[in-house]
Amino acid sequence: MQNRHRMMLVGSALLTSLALFPAGAAQAATAPVPAQTVVTAGQVSAPGAPAALQRSLTYWRGYRNGYRRGVRDGYRDCRRKRVGAHGHRGGRQYTRGWAAGYLRGYRRVCGR
- Give pLDDT tens digits for 35-69: 555 555 555 555 566 666 677 888 888 888 888 88
Element counts in the chain: helices (H) and strands (E): 3, 2
Residue 56 pLDDT = 80
CB atoms within 10 A of CB 70: 25
Across the range 13-32, mean pLDDT stands at 55
What distance in Å separates the CA atoms of residue 56 and residue 105, rounded to the nearest whole number?
25
SS3 content of the chain, % helix, strand, coil (to 5): 70, 5, 25
Q: How far apart are the first and last CA of the chain?
A: 40
With bands split at pLDDT 50, 70 and 90, how would you rate the model's confidence at 98? Answer: confident
With bands split at pLDDT 50, 70 and 90, how would you rate the model's confidence at 104? Answer: confident
Q: For residues 65 and 15, which has the higher predicted lDDT (pLDDT)?
A: 65
What distance in Å separates the CA atoms of residue 46 and residue 36, rounded to the nearest whole number?
7
What distance in Å separates the CA atoms of residue 13 and residue 10, rounded to the nearest whole number?
5
**Percentage of the chain surpassing pLDDT 70?**
41
What distance in Å separates the CA atoms of residue 93 and residue 112, rounded to the nearest whole number?
25
With bands split at pLDDT 50, 70 and 90, how would you rate the model's confidence at 71? Answer: confident
